[in-house]
């Protein structure tokens, strides 16, 4: 290479490995056979990239990469996730290893553009879809493989590190690959330029209340719109250096320097800001009194900066100095007055869009020189503060809380501003900022530690995080047996954890007095606690990018489900109204088949087909007719399902005819018929090595087809018992019977009241009005919403129900997550999973109702469709998982990815019934209060039906649910009772305190 300096840069970028090579280098790194052109010139570095990867894998105890290119692979992973990082391994090995854990075979290192191709997008001819022909794929336990693909795989998320900025001018052949893609990506080049713009991001930091330096910015182009919140930054704009009045600029700099001197600022920093000015390039330090030196440094930079770049003249933020606490307070690793430290916080957008501050680490060096990640060794904020003799645990936690919350707020504000940009301004249809790093200096003002934001770095900011993660993982693996033997330092608690624990809402001040924090402080603390819970969950390697990886996976799946044509059989009632608009937001085309010609969803779905299927005794004929209608209309069927209980067997029949994913009709029919469900499970008595015997969850049950069938009840049948509709739902018609005579009497009463579908629509009478007698068990009631794919459990969510409204057994109250001990929750999940799979349910979202008795779980019933009422909204709010999207994905053969996260809150709710609570929606006073509380986010109100829909006051169904969210069940209960009192939901005939007594 002609230019020696450039050669050094290239060598530094491509060769990130030692001289000791113990792995096989005879591997196929050539372009795939489909490439058909000579290898790109940059491919000469591929072996260096490969050796860098093996070097990392070898020294971090991961297996060597295996070459499997001799036999191209045909099938993708079941999640259909293909996240591609076009890069050397240096920037992204942490993301790849974490991705391989979460979705094996879903994360890929592509080291050459020749391994990719672009084809015209099926959605928009002006755009391209990216196809992957070759990659290094990552799997569980750090396994990796060189693979070729035939047919090529569709890329579902793209990260481009082959740019001039990231590679220090080494290569930019990722730029053409990135242009006009329809796939999601982390940050387009244009968004990187925006986020790396110190002027724009300092404005963002100031907008969220983060301190920034006093700054004079001289910018070569009109400045992007700034907020009015930035009082510490003045901006001068110019078009070109020749048209810049240097004298005027000198006067502005002189005035700025004098103002800083008046503020007792001794040092001024001059630095360039722009895409190519990374790693402290061009920074100089000057005495505030030496105005000439400052002007000359600024002028030198102004002559060379490109369009869009700036020169910043700013105050030097004086970092904190070690505190003098006497001999006993000084640690062995103590800092000195010449040292300063930079704080770097890493913030990732999580799977549900929440910005999460993951790692907060520090770099220590000479405070009078630039500090960056290349010339320092990263360490934790906590140990850095201890080295500076910040011995107060409260003070350290308080600083960490501030950094964690403000950093997340910065990304949230960036997201907010990005959402206002056009696709052209963002540089990509689905480009967005998913990860940033923020550099800060900690200073002391009025005796308080204050973080001051210096700059924001875009998506290539995760190198330091992976260095820290690898280093911590190495230390933990070697020192695990010695943890209890560590020598405690003076004034430290023995075994003080490196990761700072969650922050409480009560603190002890300097006088030893306990003080409650202000409401704003409480909110900030709670936000910090939430962010920590998302970050500290799980082991070390990859932890810093775990939320980012979750985001990549979820965005991938939402991209893959776009444009799918899914048939939904039965639109259901008012409670399902949000499904149709949400499916449209996901880009899914719903064809709704319904008996009601004027169904409320008729104009909300992509296509509506009217067909009368109310008589479900003729489901097979209905399924044939529906399938023929779909074929006649040339409607593509990627998936078929239902969200409406009565249509579960019918939808399963249509699904079988169309050949799409889901459970078989036989299993759906078994789930719909309660006696058959129990009897099938009762026969499952064989040993299972890994679960309890399934029959233990079942109960004696007898199908009652006439009032005379009471004689069929076995002599050992235990009374009292439960009598319910064989195909019923919503507890309509459920009664307690004490003997055979009561079975006959109740059967006659209920069968006369509920004869067919017209008597009470939607509760199963379209199948028949026969009944089932079942054992009565005492215990607490629970819902388990499970997600299955190919008989494997993908997700499970438990809610606890309050006592039912005796004698009608309708639901009254609920809380999520469950308040049960962990082992009891495990019993419920195992029971729900076993009961579903043992009756043949294999793929879908299902709602399982169980009793937790003194001897363990007992099945009430299985609803072979997504749970109803409030469950979808609560699960989405608490866990960030949308059951509707999961159901739709499974129906078209996509295994949904379910993040395994702790609940971020507790939600508790109370049901509203027409006979007691109609005033909440009908009277102006209460309706106004309700709407105000909804707007203020004090409550969650879920409406299931319109008033007046119920046909029987004895068996009325709830029309809505009022719920509150809180950190604990105790707090939620207290708030819910207060709101129920305010809306007069509590009354003698509806004793809310009784319904909530077990929570």
Q: Which of 34-38, 868-872, 942-946 has the highest mean pLDDT?
A: 868-872
Helix ranges (DSSP H) in 419-511: 423-426, 463-479
CA 221 – CA 230 distance, rounded (Å)? 19
319-363 confidence digits (pLDDT tens): 998 887 655 555 556 777 788 899 999 999 999 999 999 999 999
Task: Specify the pLDDT at position 763.
Answer: 82
Q: Is 515 a residue whose pLDDT tops 60?
A: no
CB proximity list for 993: less than 8 A, separation 6 or greater: 977, 986
Tokens of 84: 């591609």
738-774 confidence digits (pLDDT tens): 998 888 888 888 888 888 887 788 788 889 999 999 9
pLDDT band at 521 (very low <50, low <70, confident <90, very high): low
pLDDT band at 729 (very low <50, low <70, confident <90, very high): confident
CA 920 – CA 942 distance, rounded (Å)? 13
pLDDT band at 241 (very low <50, low <70, confident <90, very high): confident
Helix ranges (DSSP H) in 419-443: 423-426
Q: How many other CB atoms are found less than 10 A from the CB of residue 842?
A: 17
Given a contact cutoff of 8 angstroms between Cβ atoms, the answer to whether 717 and 769 are in contact is no
pLDDT band at 491 (very low <50, low <70, confident <90, very high): very low
Range name among 55-69, 737-751, 835-849, 852-866 with the lowest pLDDT average: 737-751
For residue 720, cis peptide bond before it (omega within 30 degrees of 0):
yes
More confident residue, 602 or 9: 602
The percentage of the chain sitting over the pLDDT mark of 70, rounded to a whole number, equals 91
Task: Specify the pLDDT at position 579.
Answer: 97
End-to-end alpha carbon distance in the chain: 72
CB proximity list for 920: less than 8 A, separation 6 or greater: 912, 926, 927, 930, 960, 983, 985
Which residue is it, tokens 């070697």? 478
CB proximity list for 758: less than 8 A, separation 6 or greater: none
Q: Is 509 a residue whose pLDDT tops 90?
A: no
pLDDT band at 494 (very low <50, low <70, confident <90, very high): very low
Full-model pTM: 0.91
Which residue is it, tokens 């036989």? 666
Helix, strand and coil in the chain, % to nearest 5: 35, 20, 40
Task: Specify the pLDDT at position 374.
Answer: 73
Given a contact cutoff of 8 angstroms between Cβ atoms, the answer to whether 648 and 672 are in contact is yes
Task: Specify the pLDDT at position 782.
Answer: 98
More confident residue, 192 or 167: 192
Q: What is residue 211's DSSP assignment?
A: B
Residue 394's Cα: distance from chain center in Å?
30
CA 452 – CA 440 distance, rounded (Å)? 5
CB proximity list for 427: less than 8 A, separation 6 or greater: 188, 189, 190, 191
The whole-chain average pLDDT of the chain stands at: 89
Residue 39 region, left (φ>0) first, then alpha (ψ -120 to 50), else beta?
beta
Task: Specify the pLDDT at position 10.
Answer: 52
CA 579 – CA 882 distance, rounded (Å)? 11
CA 873 – CA 862 distance, rounded (Å)? 20
CB proximity list for 294: less than 8 A, separation 6 or greater: 253, 257, 268, 270, 286, 313
CB proximity list for 603: less than 8 A, separation 6 or greater: none
Angle between helices 546-561 and 519-535 (to 10 degrees): 80
Q: Is 200 a residue whose pLDDT tops 70?
A: yes
Q: How many other CB atoms are found less than 10 A from the CB of residue 485?
A: 8
Given a contact cutoff of 8 angstroms between Cβ atoms, the answer to whether 897 and 352 are in contact is no
Task: Specify the pLDDT at position 297.
Answer: 95
Residue 410's Cα: distance from chain center in Å?
18
Which residue is it, tokens 């709101």? 979
Residues 667-683 have a mean pLDDT of: 96
Torsion, Cα of 251, 252, 257, 263 (10° steps): 130
CA 411 – CA 461 distance, rounded (Å)? 14
Q: Which residue from 605, 583, 582, 608 is spatially nearest to 594, judged by alpha carbons?
A: 608
Q: Is 753 exposed, middle or buried (0-12, 13-18, 19+ CB in 10 A)?
A: middle
Residue 494's Cα: distance from chain center in Å?
36
75-134 confidence digits (pLDDT tens): 999 999 999 999 999 889 999 999 999 999 999 999 999 999 999 999 899 999 999 999
Helix ranges (DSSP H) in 587-739: 619-632, 648-658, 665-672, 674-682
Task: Specify the pLDDT at position 485.
Answer: 43
- Give the HSE-up count for residue 798: Cα atoms under 13 Å, Cβ half-sphere: 26
Taken in order 196, 198, 204, 209, the sign of the CA dihedral is: positive
CB proximity list for 718: less than 8 A, separation 6 or greater: 700, 775, 776
Residue 744's Cα: distance from chain center in Å?
53
Rounded alpha-carbon distances, angstroms, from residue 241 to 272, 305, 511: 15, 9, 59
Tokens of 832: 């729900």
CA 25 – CA 21 distance, rounded (Å)? 9
Given a contact cutoff of 8 angstroms between Cβ atoms, the answer to whether 669 and 649 are in contact is yes
What 3-state DSSP class applies to 704?
strand
**DSSP assignments along 500-548, one per residue:** PPPPPSEEE-TTS-EEEPPHHHHHHHHHHHHHHHHHSSS-STTGGGHHH
CB proximity list for 619: less than 8 A, separation 6 or greater: 613, 649, 650, 653
Tokens of 956: 């009325």
Q: Is 306 a residue whose pLDDT tops 70?
A: yes
Angle at CA 392, nearest 5°, toward 388 and 397? 95
């Amino acid at each position: 290479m002609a230019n020696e300096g450039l050669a050094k840069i290239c060598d530094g970028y491509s060769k990130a490995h030692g001289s000791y090579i113990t792995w096989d280098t005879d591997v196929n790194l050539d372009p795939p056979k489909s490439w058909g052109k000579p290898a790109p010139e940059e491919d000469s570095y591929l072996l260096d990239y490969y050796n860098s990867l093996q070097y990392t894998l070898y020294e971090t105890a991961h297996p060597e990469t295996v070459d499997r290119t001799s036999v191209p692979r045909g099938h993708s992973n079941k999640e259909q996730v293909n996240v591609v990082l076009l890069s050397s391994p240096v920037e992204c090995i942490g993301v790849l290893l974490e991705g391989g854990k979460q979705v094996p075979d879903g994360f890929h290192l592509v080291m050459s553009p020749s391994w990719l191709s672009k084809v015209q997008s099926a959605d928009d001819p002006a755009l391209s879809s990216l196809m992957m022909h070759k990659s290094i794929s990552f799997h569980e336990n750090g396994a990796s493989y060189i693979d070729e693909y035939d047919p090529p795989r569709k890329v579902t998320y793209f990260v481009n590190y082959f740019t001039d900025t990231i590679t220090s001018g080494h290569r930019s052949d990722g730029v053409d690959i990135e242009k006009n893609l329809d796939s999601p990506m982390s940050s387009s080049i244009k968004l990187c330029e925006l986020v790396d713009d110190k002027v724009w991001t300092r404005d963002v930091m100031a907008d969220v209340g983060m301190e920034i330096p006093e700054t004079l910015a001289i910018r070569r182009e009109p400045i992007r719109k700034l907020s009015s919140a930035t009082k510490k930054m003045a901006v001068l704009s110019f078009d070109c250096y020749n048209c810049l009045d240097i004298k005027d600029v000198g006067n502005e700099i002189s005035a700025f320097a004098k103002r800083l001197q008046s503020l007792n600022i001794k040092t001024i920093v001059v630095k360039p800001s722009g895409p190519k000015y990374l790693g402290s390039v061009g920074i100089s330090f000057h005495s505030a009194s030496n105005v000439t030196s400052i002007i000359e440094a600024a002028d030198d930079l102004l002559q060379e900066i490109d369009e869009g770049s700036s020169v910043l003249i700013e105050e030097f933020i004086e970092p904190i100095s070690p505190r003098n606490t006497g001999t006993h307070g000084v640690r062995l690793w103590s800092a000195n007055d010449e040292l300063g430290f930079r704080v770097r916080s890493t913030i990732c957008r999580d799977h549900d869009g929440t910005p999460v501050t993951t790692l907060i680490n520090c770099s220590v060096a000479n405070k009078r020189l630039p500090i960056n990640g290349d010339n320092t060794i990263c360490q934790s904020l906590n140990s850095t503060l201890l080295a500076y003799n910040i011995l107060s645990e409260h003070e350290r936690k308080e600083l960490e809380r501030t950094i964690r919350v403000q950093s997340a707020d910065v990304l949230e504000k960036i997201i907010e501003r990005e959402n206002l940009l056009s696709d052209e301004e963002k540089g990509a249809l689905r480009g967005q900022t998913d990860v940033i790093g923020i550099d800060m200096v900690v200073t002391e003002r009025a005796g308080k530690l204050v973080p001051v934001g210096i700059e924001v770095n875009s998506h290539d900011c995760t190198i330091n995080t992976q260095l820290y993660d690898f280093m911590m993982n190495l230390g933990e693996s070697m020192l695990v047996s010695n943890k209890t033997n560590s020598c405690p330092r003076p004034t430290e608690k023995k075994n003080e954890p490196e990761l700072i624990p969650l922050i409480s809402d009560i603190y002890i001040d300097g006088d030893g007095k306990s003080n409650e924090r202000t409401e704003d402080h409480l909110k900030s603390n709670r936000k910090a606690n939430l962010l920590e819970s998302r970050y500290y969950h799980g082991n070390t390697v990859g932890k810093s990018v775990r939320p980012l990886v979750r985001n990549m996976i979820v965005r991938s799946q939402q991209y893959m489900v776009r444009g799918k044509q899914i048939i939904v059989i039965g639109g259901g009632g008012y409670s399902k109204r949000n499904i149709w608009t949400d499916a449209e937001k996901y880009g899914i085309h719903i064809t709704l088949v319904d008996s009601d010609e004027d169904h409320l969803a008729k104009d909300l779905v992509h296509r509506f087909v009217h067909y009368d299927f109310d008589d479900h005794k003729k489901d097979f004929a209905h399924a044939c007719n529906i399938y023929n209608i779909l074929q006649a209309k040339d409607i593509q069927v990627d998936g078929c399902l239902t969200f409406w209980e009565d249509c579960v067997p019918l939808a399963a029949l249509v699904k079988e005819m169309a050949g799409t994913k889901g459970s078989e009709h036989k299993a759906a029919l078994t789930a719909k018929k309660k006696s058959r469900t129990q009897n099938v499970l009762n026969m499952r008595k064989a040993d299972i090595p890994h679960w309890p015997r399934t029959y233990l969850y079942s109960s004696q049950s007898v199908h009652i087809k006439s009032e005379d069938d009471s004689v069929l009840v076995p002599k050992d049948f235990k009374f009292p018992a439960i009598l319910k509709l064989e195909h019923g739902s919503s507890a309509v018609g459920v009664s307690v019977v004490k003997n055979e005579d009561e079975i006959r009497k109740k059967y006659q009463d209920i069968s006369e009241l509920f004869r067919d579908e017209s008597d009470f629509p939607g509760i199963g009478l379209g199948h028949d009005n026969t009944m089932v007698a079942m054992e009565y068990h005492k215990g607490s009631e629970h819902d388990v919403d499970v997600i299955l794919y190919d008989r494997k459990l993908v997700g499970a969510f438990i809610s606890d129900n309050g006592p039912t409204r005796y004698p009608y057994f309708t639901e009254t109250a609920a809380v999520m997550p469950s308040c049960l001990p962990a082992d009891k929750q495990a019993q419920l999940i195992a029971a729900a999973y076993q009961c579903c799979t043992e009756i043949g349910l294999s793929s879908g979202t299902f709602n399982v109702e169980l009793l937790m008795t003194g001897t363990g779980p007992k099945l009430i019933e299985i609803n072979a469709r997504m749970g109803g009422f409030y469950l979808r909204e609560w699960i989405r709010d608490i866990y960030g998982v949308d059951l509707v999207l999961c159901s739709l994905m499974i129906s078209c053969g996509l295994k949904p990815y379910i993040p395994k996260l702790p609940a971020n809150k507790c939600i508790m709710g109370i049901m509203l019934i027409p006979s007691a609570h109609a005033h909440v929606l009908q009277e102006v006073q209460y309706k106004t209060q309700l709407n105000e509380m909804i707007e203020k986010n004090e409550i969650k109100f879920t409406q299931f039906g319109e008033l007046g829909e119920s046909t029987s006051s004895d068996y009325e169904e709830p029309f809505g649910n009022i719920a509150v969210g809180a950190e604990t069940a105790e707090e939620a209960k207290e708030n819910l009772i207060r709101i129920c009192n305010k809306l007069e939901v509590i009354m003698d005939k509806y004793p809310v305190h009784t319904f909530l007594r077990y929570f």
